[in-house]
Structure 1
Amino acid sequence: MSKITLRIIAEATGLSKFAVSRALTGKVGVSEETRARVIAVAERLGYARPDQPPVVQTSTIGAVFASEDPVNGEMNIQIQNGLQSEAARLGYTIHAHWASDARSLARFVEGCAGIFSVNIQDKAALAQILASGKPVVRAGWLEPLEQVDHVGGTDREAGVAAGRYLFDLGHREIVFVHGDIDLRGRRERWHGLQEFAASTRGLTCYDLTWGGDKSFSDGLDQILAAGGRPTGFFCGHDGMAITAYTDILARGWRIPRDVSVVGFGDFSAATQVSPQLTTMKIRASEIGRNALRRLDARLRNPDVEFAPLRMFVPNILIERGSAGPAPQQR
């Protein structure tokens, strides 16, 4: 069987080789009707070349996730749900990709009309995505003044809000449970709590970190040995709230009678402990929806010079049973 070439497809469609090439590579200059006809003929004839860039599906949005991201796994699923629901409303298809190697990422990006980059921090992967020339929206932390659309949550505001919430309940010493890894989001939540403490007389805050052969218990023991008597705990992630629960209950302290605990995320663990966890909910599905809307605006208006936007979806305080008035003394 002879090799199927662009000339053969052009003859079968009555178009020029130039038009066929642009249709198959997703470039502008041909109508969607013509593009669909060319693709259908090419597929019927069995046209395929391993080195040919994938055909760009103008209704396909690519969501690129970090290949190793155990901390944000549940949030990423919620983001995907938001993307899918908005895509169904606006007429797009969502394809997900976990960035692992440069070749697979490059090919994936070429086959999409727009890209939502979710917490991708690898510089080489980001460079590939941004160099594609496709509309891109990012979630995650940007370089200062990076000229790209961004959608995310309100980490620093959440820290301020958690501090105010616990302070209004009478807590005057608050521990921020930072954990054994220093992620940018956690750092911003800690900065928000510090910001509130700086403007609030009578409030003391501690940053509890651990690592190596040190544990949460070691960090809390150090605070207590220095004379601290915290009654409020704001945890940088719901998973760390479970760590805090384990230690606090082992000490014989009661939640929320003796100490109050506030988490971050509103993930499944929040309702699987007793008492159920008061937490700052990440509206991850809304992050996905807003990213899709921004990509849709750029794709529908390719000739409009939109200025990049920073979009923030505010967290929500979900009150459950783990927080209450501060005790008079412990």
Structure 2
Amino acid sequence: MTDPAKPNYDDVVRIPAPPGRASATGRPPRIAEVAERAGVSPITVSRVLRHPQKVNRKTRERILEVIEATGYASNPHARALRSGRSNVVVAFVSNILSQQFGLAVRSFAATLEPEGFEVLVGQTSYSYVKEVAMIQSLRGIRPAAVMFTGVIELEENRAALAELGIPVIETWAFPRDPIDMLVGLPNADAGAMAARRLAEAGHRRVAFIGRSSGRGALRRDGFRTAAAQLGLDIVHEIGVGEITGLIDGRAAFTALLDRGDRVDAVFCANDLLATGALIEARARGLSVPRDLAVLGFGDNDVADQITPGLTTISFDAAAVGRIAAELLLARLSGTQLAEQRIAVDLFLVERGSV
């Protein structure tokens, strides 16, 4: 179990703005500018956004390309919330399919709603372009606060959020320099915990499967560091892009086996990947953990139902949302916060796959 009082910070990457797009700190692009770049009228842009079936395919695709490039976003909430103090809190979720994100946001809303707040949810899909557009929309919505299931990597977005002058809550990582408040997971510590567990089980030739960027990369780096200290040989690292379901874990596990080198155990930095790996192992007639051990991160419902059960590094996702909401309520009430950077505890759930 990690000690919340002594977590290691995550070395979150800070990324400059991608070229060729309006800055989130500047004026958001107008519909007329989108129309000019696409070579159409503003009414055609509006029609694509509202009634895309009424615009021919080539024109629609050209306009959508410009919208993606500029980060333009129409804002249906702006007029209704332009004056007075808003009771709206916006929660941006990286992936609405994630069980852990869902638990956090439901707990977040359940804590805020009895106090008279309304929670609106948007999905960033791990896309910097979408993130920029959504942060631009906050100027019109004027929410009371905003929460992210993640931390903001783009420097322009960090600056834009700071300029809004509202409480900002980041989660799911533990950087040294959050924008404002933080309820984080020490991801590097999670990777180190995985390496220690595999070493304790006697495994020496190990592999990693996970996202090549963001929190997946933080867990990978912690796994690398601890593996080197423990004398583990990381035989292969399989990088994954966007994770949409169990099929991604099956594909990544297949890629690992296709490399042909002997591996004793694999750490999957996401439980969808780990569960998919277990399913693929069974389909290939492999015995887990006798032939190859699998360790996950996140602890979804399927992890407890599959045979053998998935051993995983877990945390209380609902507590992330509840603590974030409690920090927010304290800030909005004018209470002086004794601590506004909180690390959530990690713990190991043993189910037999290691």
TM-score, scaled to structure 2:
0.63
Partner of 1:233: 266
- The structural deviation recorded for 1:235 is 0.7
Partner of 2:171: 139
Partner of 1:259: 292
In structure 1, which of residues 123, 130, 139 is the aligned counterpart of residue 162 of structure 2? 130
- The structural deviation recorded for 1:313 is 0.4
The percent of aligned pairs where both chains have the same amino acid is 26
What is the rounded CA distance, in whole Å, between the counterparts of 2:107 and 2:175 in structure 1?
Answer: 25
What is the rounded CA distance, in whole Å, between the counterparts of 1:114 and 1:71 in structure 2?
Answer: 20
Q: Residues 71, 172 of structure 1: CA spacing in aligned structure 2 closer, same or farther, 3 A cutoff? A: farther
Partner of 1:75: 100
In structure 1, which of residues 218, 221, 224 is the aligned counterpart of residue 258 of structure 2? 221
Deviations 1:222-260 (A, max 9, x none): 251xxxx32222111111113322443344320122222
What is the rounded CA distance, in whole Å, between the counterparts of 1:71 and 1:282 in structure 2?
Answer: 18
Partner of 2:220: 190
Deviations 1:45-104 (A, max 9, x none): xxxx948714324xx3513214xx448632221111221343367x35241231664564
Q: Residues 77, 52 of structure 1: CA spacing in aligned structure 2 closer, same or farther, 3 A cutoff? A: closer
Q: Residues 61, 211 of structure 1: CA spacing in aligned structure 2 closer, same or farther, 3 A cutoff? A: closer
Partner of 1:56: 85
What is the rounded CA distance, in whole Å, between the counterparts of 1:278 and 1:193 in structure 2?
Answer: 16
Partner of 1:285: 318
Computing the radius of gyration from Cα coordinates, the structure with the larger value is 1
Instruction: Tell me the SS of whatever aligns to 1:317.
Output: strand
What is the rounded CA distance, in whole Å, between the counterparts of 1:209 and 1:71 in structure 2?
Answer: 24
8 Å contact 1:238–1:270 — kept in the other structure?
A: yes
Q: Residues 146, 321 of structure 1: CA spacing in aligned structure 2 closer, same or farther, 3 A cutoff? A: closer
Q: Residues 153, 72 of structure 1: CA spacing in aligned structure 2 closer, same or farther, 3 A cutoff? A: farther
Alignment of 1:300-311 (within 5 A): 300-301=333-334, 309-311=340-342
Partner of 1:312: 343
Any unmatched runs of 5+ in structure 2? 1-77, 124-129, 242-250
Amino acid of the residue matched to residue 96 of structure 1?
L
Alignment of 1:57-136 (within 5 A): 57=86, 60=87, 62-66=89-93, 69-70=94-95, 73-87=98-112, 91-98=115-122, 101=133, 104-108=137-141, 110=142, 112-119=143-150, 127-136=159-168
Instruction: Tell me the SS of whatever aligns to 2:170.
Output: strand
- The structural deviation recorded for 1:307 is 8.6
What is the rounded CA distance, in whole Å, between the counterparts of 1:242 and 1:200 in structure 2?
Answer: 26
8 Å contact 2:212–2:239 — kept in the other structure?
A: no
8 Å contact 1:280–1:316 — kept in the other structure?
A: yes
- The structural deviation recorded for 1:317 is 1.1
Instruction: Tell me the SS of whatever aligns to 1:97.
Output: strand
Q: Residues 250, 50 of structure 1: CA spacing in aligned structure 2 closer, same or farther, 3 A cutoff? A: closer
Deviations 1:189-248 (A, max 9, x none): 1112122222223x2123421579x85423333251xxxx32222111111113322443
Q: Residues 269, 153 of structure 1: CA spacing in aligned structure 2 closer, same or farther, 3 A cutoff? A: same
What is the rounded CA distance, in whole Å, between the counterparts of 1:121 and 1:163 in structure 2?
Answer: 26
Partner of 1:26: none
In structure 2, which of residues 221, 224, 234 is the aligned counterpart of residue 205 of structure 1? 234
TM-score, scaled to structure 1:
0.67
Instruction: Tell me the SS of whatever aligns to 2:82.
Output: coil
What is the rounded CA distance, in whole Å, between the counterparts of 2:99 and 2:156 in structure 1?
Answer: 25
Partner of 1:161: 193
Partner of 2:69: none
Amino acid of the residue matched to residue 112 of structure 2?
A
Amino acid of the residue matched to residue 113 of structure 1?
A
Partner of 1:295: 328
Give the count of matched residue pairs.
Answer: 258
Q: Residues 154, 126 of structure 1: CA spacing in aligned structure 2 closer, same or farther, 3 A cutoff? A: same
Any unmatched runs of 5+ in structure 1? 1-48, 324-330
8 Å contact 1:280–1:318 — kept in the other structure?
A: yes
Q: Residues 144, 72 of structure 1: CA spacing in aligned structure 2 closer, same or farther, 3 A cutoff? A: farther
What is the rounded CA distance, in whole Å, between the counterparts of 1:254 and 1:159 in structure 2?
Answer: 24
Q: Residues 231, 129 of structure 1: CA spacing in aligned structure 2 closer, same or farther, 3 A cutoff? A: same
